[in-house]
Every structure is written in C-alpha cells, then in structure tokens.
A and B are shown apart, each in its own frame.
Chain A
Amino acid sequence: MAERAIFIRAAGDYYAQADEALPELGPLVKQTLGAQVRRVGRFVQLALIGAARCVGQRQLPATTGVYLTSGRGDMEVTADVMEQLFRDGQAPRPLSFINTVSNSACFYIAKQFGLRGRSAFVCNRYFSFESALQLAMLDMEAGVSTSALVGSTDIVLAPLDVHRKRLRLAEGTPVAEGSHWLWLEAGDAADEGAKLTSVEVLADGAALETWIARHARGAGTALSVGQFGDATETAAIAARAGVTPTFDYRDGRAYYDSQSGAAVSAFLAQRPEGVTTLLHVNRDAEGRFAAFAVRF
C-alpha cells in the first residue's frame, strides 16, 4: 500500500487592518458566495469569506471535516448577549444566543459547502491556528477523515480603544481582522504538491531545536517566526539546528490573534526559489513552542 501524505490543496485568506469605520461584510459575503447568508454576524461572515476564497469553485468531498479556530471567538455576539442580559435585563434574542455557541460558525460553513464530516471549534490564545491544524492532522493520520477544511477567524469590534482593552493591547496598537483557510487532503506521498508534514507543540527550546533539526532540509529551508515568538530567541535556537529565520510572512501586519494562519498561504504564494520547506515557529507566554512544517 502506497505511503500517504497530507496535501495542502488550496489556501484562501481575508485580511484587513481596522479603523473605526469597520466595513460592512454582508455585501462581500454576497459577492463571494453568490448569495446572502442570513442570521450571521461578523465572525461567521469573515469565516465564510475566508473559507469561500479557499474552496473557490471546487466541490469538496462531502466527508470533509471543518476545523475552525480563533484567538477569542465570536466576541460580537457574546458582547451582545451579555449586554442584553446584564445591562438591559432582558432575555437575549434567539439568533444571538444560538450563535454564542462558537461551533455554529462550523455549521454555516458545512452548510454552505455541503459538508457532512466532523466539525470542531478550538479557541487558543497563542496557538490558535496551530491547534486547529494539529487536530485536523491527527484526525487525518488516524484515518478519521481524508479531507479537512482548516481555518482561523478573528474579528474586530468598534470602538477600537475598547477592542484593544479586551485584547490587552497597548493604546494605539494597530489591529486587524483576519480569516485564513487551508484545504487539506490525504494523498499518495509520492505525488507532487505542498504537504503538511508535522504539527507539534513542544515543551521548551531544546525540544524545538530537535524538531527543527529533524524537519529542516538544508539551504532549502525557510523558517518563519509567529507573532508571539521572540525573534532573537528563535533565531538562536534555529541556528543551533543549522537554520536561519528567513521568511517574513507577517510583513507589517496589524494585530490579530491567529496570524499564524497567514504563514502557509503566504509561503505558497511567495515561495522563494530553491526553497522546498517552510518551518513555522510560534511561542506562548509559558515558553512552549508550536511548530509546523510544510514541504514540497
């Protein structure tokens, strides 16, 4: 039996730095999907836009799973329900209440693309995209699914000064909305294409050094540092493993939690000549690392 691998078949993104006048997303949803989607807020709209840009005109296998992640989830609907309950002393509106279940975004995506596979929503402050990617990869390696739509979504709520306080950001920090999606599919390892070869959470720098050494492919390796990573620390660890951080997918991006989601699509779009492998490294506040590898 041929060895199997997890291929990255497609990628799609939405990214926009925010100012006080946040753009209405309804028209973009309608333009992207070809129809209005009722009863959804900004979070689901952003998820749908990013996913639709990834899927394009393809018909994904009906068994495709949906793995969605976010740093903070649907803050808009959560704030709305909390204000109705505690500020106004009223029962929340049903449509708001039902969308406080974060996985409802997966429902709208599954419905839009005709998917019946498993769905999961994971929320993680530092490793949001990495967590969803790892979950999807584990399911695919275990044979639970052979196709997965993996994405991250983070929204901004006006006013921006309140949004920054919610995110504990310094005054004036530029903030953005982002939605990044990958379609993964199992295939014959001998086939050409971008493959997701590893997603791991590592306990410390020593474990990261070992991981980098195992997955690097000499001069054909690019390494990117996630937004929570310390560039100097990561460069030192990578250097001990013989790799130099060379790929800056962030390119001056404003803050949103799940920026790591942009790394793969940026690599696929901009792959430097001679580079066959992307190693992406992120870090949390406790000194753990999350890392994933993409290889052609």
Chain B
Amino acid sequence: MTALPNRETLIAGLKEMILAECDLDRDADSIPDDMALIADGLELDSLDALQISLAVKERYGVRIEGGPDARRAFASTAALADFIIDARTAAA
C-alpha cells in the first residue's frame, strides 16, 4: 500500500486515475475538485463507480462499501480524497 501524498497531490492523482480507469477523453485540469462524479458533472455511471472502487482499493488499500460510503466518496474528487484520508487515518 502506497503512502498517502498531501491532499492536493492526492486529488490530482485521483483525477488521473479516474480518467484512465473510466476511459475518459479529457484533461485532468478540466475537472474541478468539487465536480460531481456520478450523473451530472463528470457523468459517470455505476459501472464506472465500481471500476474506480477497485482501483482505489488496489492503489490506496481503502474499500468503498455500500450506498452511504459510495454516496460520500463519489460526490467529487475532493470528497474521494477526503474519504481515503479519513479511512487511512482511522486504520492507522
């Protein structure tokens, strides 16, 4: 499991990861930190969410389980970064 970078770097890395995992043809810079990931915003769907969940588990060792977790984690890339930071802090 990789050590977490600072929040800003983590958000930038998550954007790149989401673009790669979901096969999105756009620049990471065009994604605001607070842009919604699902439906409006980045317009991802449940299959994308599942793909991102597995990538987060592999890369950061954090599981996104169930509806409440997913709703919070996929609110935006900033929210996903905070979810990962909180989970790693709680596990430390």
Interfacial residues, chain A to chain B (CB-CB below 8 A): 30, 36, 38-40, 90-91, 93-95, 98
B54 lies within 8 A of A93 (CB): yes
**8 Å CB contact of B54 from A36, A39, A40, A91:** A91
The interface bits of chain B over 24-48 (1 if a CB of A lies within 8 angstroms of the residue's CB, else 0) are: 1100000000000000000000010
Q: Which residues of A contact B23 (CB under 8 A)?
A: 38-40, 95
The secondary structure that dominates the A interface is loop
Q: Which residues of A contact B47 (CB under 8 A)?
A: 39, 94-95, 98
Q: Known contacts A93-B51, A98-B47; can you find 17 more A-B pairs with CB under 8 A?
A: A30-B25, A38-B23, A38-B25, A39-B22, A39-B23, A39-B47, A40-B23, A90-B58, A91-B54, A93-B21, A93-B54, A94-B47, A94-B50, A94-B51, A95-B23, A95-B47, A95-B51
Q: Which residues of A contact B24 (CB under 8 A)?
A: 38
Q: Which residues of B contact A91 (CB under 8 A)?
A: 54
Contact-residue bracket for chain B:
10 to 19
Count of chain A to chain B residue pairs whose CB atoms are closer than 8 Å in the complex: 24
Cα–Cα, bound, A72→B87 (Å): 44
A36 lies within 8 A of B22 (CB): no
For this complex, 24 residue pairs linking A to B, each with C-beta atoms less than 8 Å apart, are A30-B25, A36-B25, A38-B22, A38-B23, A38-B24, A38-B25, A39-B22, A39-B23, A39-B47, A40-B23, A90-B58, A91-B54, A93-B21, A93-B51, A93-B54, A94-B47, A94-B50, A94-B51, A94-B54, A95-B21, A95-B23, A95-B47, A95-B51, A98-B47
Cα–Cα, bound, A98→B50 (Å): 12
A40, A90, A93: which has the most chain B beta carbons within 10 Å?
A93
A200 to chain B, nearest CB (A): 41
Cα–Cα, bound, A188→B83 (Å): 64
Cα–Cα, bound, A98→B23 (Å): 15
Q: Which residues of B contact A30 (CB under 8 A)?
A: 25
Q: Which residues of A contact B58 (CB under 8 A)?
A: 90
The interface bits of chain B over 2-37 (1 if a CB of A lies within 8 angstroms of the residue's CB, else 0) are: 000000000000000000011111000000000000
Residue of B nearest to A36 (CB): B25
Residue of A nearest to B49 (CB): A94
Residue of B nearest to A94 (CB): B50
Residue of A nearest to B47 (CB): A94
A236 to chain B, nearest CB (A): 52
Q: Which residues of A contact B25 (CB under 8 A)?
A: 30, 36, 38
Cα–Cα, bound, A139→B23 (Å): 36
Cα–Cα, bound, A23→B8 (Å): 36
Q: Which residues of B contact A36 (CB under 8 A)?
A: 25
The interface bits of chain B over 44-65 (1 if a CB of A lies within 8 angstroms of the residue's CB, else 0) are: 0001001100100010000000
**The 3 residue pairs across chains A and B that have the minimum distance between CB atoms:** A94-B50, A38-B23, A36-B25
B74 to chain A, nearest CB (A): 15
Q: Which residues of A contact B22 (CB under 8 A)?
A: 38-39
The interface bits of chain B over 69-82 (1 if a CB of A lies within 8 angstroms of the residue's CB, else 0) are: 00000000000000
Q: Which residues of A contact B54 (CB under 8 A)?
A: 91, 93-94
Residue of B nearest to A98 (CB): B47
Residue of A nearest to B55 (CB): A93
Residue of B nearest to A35 (CB): B25
Residue of B nearest to A38 (CB): B23
Cα–Cα, bound, A132→B50 (Å): 34
Residue of A nearest to B50 (CB): A94
A26 to chain B, nearest CB (A): 8
Q: Which residues of A contact B51 (CB under 8 A)?
A: 93-95
Residue of A nearest to B26 (CB): A36
